Amino acid sequence: MDFELSANGRAWRDRTQAFFDAHLLPRNREWIEHVVRRGEPAPFMPELQAKARAQGLWNIGLPELAADEPGTRLSNLEYAGCCEILGRLAWAPEALNCQAPDVPNMITLQNCANPEQKRQWLAPLLEARTRSCFAMTEPDVASSDATNIATAIERQGGDYVINGRKWFSTGAAHPRCTQIMLMGVTGKALDKSTDRTRRHSIVMVPMDAPGVRLVREIRWMGNRDHVAPIGEIEFKDVRVPVGNLLGKEGDGFKIAQIRLGPARVHHCMRQIGLAGLMIELMLARAAERKAFGRMVIEYDTVQRWVAESRVELEQAKLLTLKCAWLLDRQGHHGAWREVSLVKVAVPNMLQRVADRAIQVFGAMGGTDDAPIHYALSYARLMRIGDGPDEVHLRQIFKMETPPAWTIDGSPYIAYPADG
Ligand SMILES: Cc1cc2nc3c(=O)[nH]c(=O)nc-3n(C[C@H](O)[C@H](O)[C@H](O)COP(=O)(O)OP(=O)(O)OC[C@H]3O[C@@H](n4cnc5c(N)ncnc54)[C@H](O)[C@@H]3O)c2cc1C
């Protein structure tokens, strides 16, 4: 395994860092003022996007761009270096059009859409002319078992008619979201004995189709997702042409897996960057404050928290790089195990690191003056979203190979001779 970045990867990482330093970080206070405090879009985002695009920093999370599609064509490993930099600010990816959930939706369309569907749905996303969401989770069923998904997609002549309710559709409440990638059951017409993983399909639904209703915006842990506001959506007798089906009827699970591999790994890459920022915040804050006659940084406990955070961050980062490296070489099938490993390891690491950072900061750590609450709620989200920890741990356990020996027969076990 070799995680050394290629010359191309290093060049793009350096360009991303330079853009971050020159154009993104200096606007962060302004972004918070407009978006978080006043609840309005950042007026400078179009200008930043134009600047990024002019420098080639565009669609950097899409390794499989076609020749005529705009972007850098970085490998997953190369993207990891850039994503780590951008992960330090919640809103930075949007300036380079590599924000979730649009990137995994674009990857899905690249892999599963026909040319006409690509023209209709993918092209506007590649140009950042619109935004999208992925609607799988439903309020009425345990959605971590995706075979429970029950929204009906019934064929009627040349249309599909959709009835159901989705929630936690990240991005759906964004004012510019025009497209919903929806998973539902096309199996109503099929025999109930059909394999439970072959009953679902994915269709593209325009946000303004009659019968689609954004019921409300959902806040996670009391906070608004400012980059991709989360929605609950009702679908009542919504009609879309059969041409909106991605792949074939029954392909829903296969398509969702293509989407989920990169979606999970990109979140991990961003969280690695955020965890690095948490360590810097601990170091800076503890070096500035004195308690009981000593600088806070001089306390063993604080030094230990910083050091433990670094150990955990480096472990998680190596695992993330391994996962990106495998995705490049063997695609999502080859990286399946590592995607689950990293999906569990990274958010748990970030949660611990952010928790320590809040403690080192004192009360200010929990306010929205500092970014620690964002890191904590991002980590907490990622322990549930895209499959809860428990589901991934179960998968990881299933991939374990038991040894060929029994305990009694094992040469590793040595009972005393008279035992
Ligand atoms: C902020 C946020 C954003 C999200 N964005 C999206 C989105 O864009 N699109 C979308 O479709 N969904 C999204 N989700 C939904 C997310 O993917 C689901 O919440 C997740 O799959 C769990 O489904 P559930 O909430 O129905 O929990 P349930 O399925 O009811 O599970 C509840 C709990 O049961 C336990 N459990 C489940 N299975 C097992 C098992 N096999 N072994 C042991 N314990 C188990 C786990 O502890 C789990 O957390 C988002 C969620 C959050 C929090």
Domain boundaries defined on the chain: 7-99, 131-246, 253-398
Instruction: For residue 122, give the DSSP letter.
Output: I
- Residue 192's pLDDT is 62
Residue 262: per-residue pLDDT: 87
What are the CA-CA distances from residue 286 to residues 211, 307, 352 (Å)?
54, 14, 18
Distance 146 CA to ligand 1 centre (A): 9
User: Which residues have a Cβ under 8 Å from the Cβ of 191 and sit 6 or more positions away?
Assistant: none
**What pLDDT does residue 93 have?**
98
Average pLDDT over the chain, rounded to whole? Answer: 95
Mean pLDDT score, 141-167 = 97
Kindly give the distance from the C-alpha atom of residue 143 to the centroid of ligand 1, in angstroms, as a whole number.
6
Asked whether 300 and 316 are in contact (CB, 8 A), the reply is: no
Residue 189, pLDDT > 90, answer no
Say which residues have a Cβ less than 8 Å from residue 416's Cβ, sequence separation at least 6: none
User: Of all atoms in ligand 1, which is nearest to the CA of residue 170?
Assistant: 8
* Distance from the alpha carbon of residue 295 to the mean position of ligand 1, in angstroms: 42
Give the pLDDT score at 340. Answer: 97
Q: Which atom of ligand 1 is nearest to the CA of 101?
A: 8
Q: What are phi and psi of 232, to 5 degrees?
A: -110, 135
7-99 fold: Butyryl-Coa Dehydrogenase, subunit A; domain 1 (1.10.540)
**Residue 61 pLDDT class (50, 70, 90 cuts):** very high
| Binding site membership of 134 for ligand 1 (Cβ less than 6 Å) | yes
Give the number of the atom of ligand 1 that is nearest the alpha carbon of residue 386: 17
Q: Whats the size of the chain, residue-wise?
A: 419
Tokens 């989920």 correspond to what residue?
260
Please give the structure tokens belonging to residue 360: 């080192």
Task: Give per-residue pLDDT as tens, 28-45.
Answer: 999 999 999 999 999 999
Q: For 301-307, what is the mean pLDDT?
A: 98
pLDDT for res 3: 87
What is the residue whose two structure tokens read 């601990």?
282
Q: What is the pLDDT of residue 190?
A: 54
Ligand 1 proximity of 386 Cβ (cutoff 6 Å): yes
Q: Does residue 145 surpass a pLDDT of 90?
A: yes
Assign domain 253-398 to its CATH superfamily: Butyryl-CoA Dehydrogenase, subunit A, domain 3 (1.20.140.10)
d(Cα 118, Cα 130) in Å, to the nearest integer? 14
Percentage of the chain modeled with pLDDT above 90: 91
The yes-or-no verdict on residue 194 having pLDDT over 90 is: no
pLDDT at 252 over 90: yes
Domain 131-246 CATH class label? mainly beta
Give the pLDDT confidence of 262-300 residue by residue, as tens digits. Answer: 889 999 999 999 999 999 999 999 999 999 999 999 999
**What is the band of 213 on the pLDDT scale with cuts at 50, 70, 90?**
very high
Position 188 scores a pLDDT of 60
Strand pairing report for 152-156 and 159-170? antiparallel
Beta strand 290-291 with 159-170: parallel, antiparallel or unpaired?
Answer: unpaired
- The 3-state DSSP class for residue 337 equals helix
- Is residue 247 very low, low, confident or very high in pLDDT (cuts 50, 70, 90)? very high
Given the structure tokens 């008279």, which residue do they identify?
418
395 CB under 6 A from ligand 1? no
The rounded distance, in Å, linking the Cα atoms of 240 and 158 is: 9
For residue 144, how far is its CA from the centre of ligand 1 (angstroms)?
5
> Residue 387: left (phi > 0), alpha (psi -120 to 50), or beta?
left
Q: Which residues contact 241 (CB under 8 A, 6 or more apart)?
A: 158, 159, 160
Closest to 234 (Cα-Cα) out of 205, 211, 202, 209: 211
The pLDDT, as a whole number, for residue 344 is 98
pLDDT at 241 over 80: yes
- pLDDT, one tens digit per residue, over 348-367 is 999 999 999 999 999 999 99
Residue where the block lists tokens 């040319």: 115
Closest protein CA for atom 51 of ligand 1: 385
Q: Is 280 in the pocket of ligand 1 (CB under 6 A)?
A: no
Helix (H, G, I), strand (E, B) or coil at 91: coil
Q: For residue 135, give the ligand 1 atom closest to its CA.
A: 11
- Give pLDDT, residue 333: 87
Q: 255-268: per-residue pLDDT in tens?
A: 999 998 888 999 99
Which among 99, 105, 108, 137 is the best mutation to test ligand 1's pocket, defined by most ligand atoms within 8 Å of the CB?
137
386 Cα–ligand 1 center, Å = 7
Pocket lining: 312 vs ligand 1, CB cutoff 6 Å: no
Is pLDDT at 150 greater than 70 in this prediction? yes
Q: Write down the pTM of the prediction.
A: 0.96
Contacts of 192 (CB under 8 A, 6+ apart): none
Rounded to an integer, the average pLDDT of 91-111 is: 97
387, 144 contact by CB (below 8 A): yes
Q: Is 135 in the pocket of ligand 1 (CB under 6 A)?
A: yes
Residue with the two structure tokens 């309020």:
139
CB atoms closer than 10 angstroms to residue 1 = 8
Residue 180 has a CB neighbour count (10 Å cut-off) of: 27
Whose CA is closest to 282, among 344, 383, 381, 375? 375
The CB of 142 under 6 Å from ligand 1? The reply is: yes
Chain centre to alpha carbon of residue 120: 24
- For residue 195, name the pLDDT band (cuts at 50, 70, 90): confident
Is residue 58 scored above 70 in pLDDT?
yes
For every residue of 3-44, DSSP letters joined together read -PPPHHHHHHHHHHHHHIIIIIGGGHHHHIIIIIIS----TT
Enumerate helices (H) and strands (E) in the chain, giving the number of each: 13, 10
- Closest residue by CA, ligand 1 atom 25: 143
- Note the pLDDT of residue 332: 86
Q: Is 384 in the pocket of ligand 1 (CB under 6 A)?
A: yes
Q: What angle do CA 226, 231, 236 make, to 5 degrees?
A: 155
Give CA–CA dist 225/65, Å, rounded: 28
